Amino acid sequence: MDVFINHVKAFIYLQTGLWSALLCGVSGQVDSLLLNVPGSGVVEFDDAQWSFKKHGLGVLFEEVNGKRKVDFHDVQAGVTCFDAWGLSTYFGALGGEGRKALKSVGIVSGALEDNLKDLLKKLEEKKLVSVSDGFYKIL
């Protein structure tokens, strides 16, 4: 379980840092529809360049010279929040490293997002995460 939780913490770290890096280039306060956020571009965070593309109410970040992806698909939820969709994008992009982390919590086959939804419900029952409006936080 620790391997998985550590990867989730890494995801939250990236999501928080990438969003902060993006906001450095935005003038004024970001509205709920992200109207003043550029449609695409590049930000630098943690010694890496990340391309970003705005979509709906969120932003997809992709590491330029790497494999990591962070889909912050509902900015209104907050940078420390996550859901199964965001985690499935992140773990899927990690390749073998992601599969190893998922295997550590019993996810070896099937639809990744559905498996992560089930796992997050179990983590909530164990009081390792809290949930509000479908978004989770590590406790």
pTM for this predicted structure: 0.92
Length in residues, the chain: 139
How confident is the model at residue 75, as a pLDDT?
A: 85
**Average model confidence (pLDDT) for the chain?**
94
For residue 14, which phi and psi values (nearest 5 degrees)? -65, -45
120-136: string of b/e by CB count within 10 Å (b at 16+)? beebeeeeebeeeeebb
Q: 17 Cβ partners below 8 Å, 6+ apart?
A: 45, 46
pLDDT tops 90 at residue 115: yes
Burial of 24 (0-12, 13-18, 19+ CB in 10 A): exposed
**Would you kindly state where each structural domain of the chain is located, as residue ranges?**
2-138
Q: In the chain, pLDDT over 70 holds for what percent of residues?
A: 100
Scan for tokens 């620790």, then name that residue. 2
Instruction: Output the CA–CA distances (angstroms, integers) from residue 41 to 24, 44, 49, 134, in the order listed.
Output: 13, 10, 10, 29
Least confident of 18-27, 70-79, 120-129: 70-79
Which residues sit opposite 40 in a β-bridge? 53
Residue 121 pLDDT more than 90?
yes
pLDDT tens-place string over residues 32-75? 889 999 999 999 999 999 999 999 889 999 999 999 999 998 88
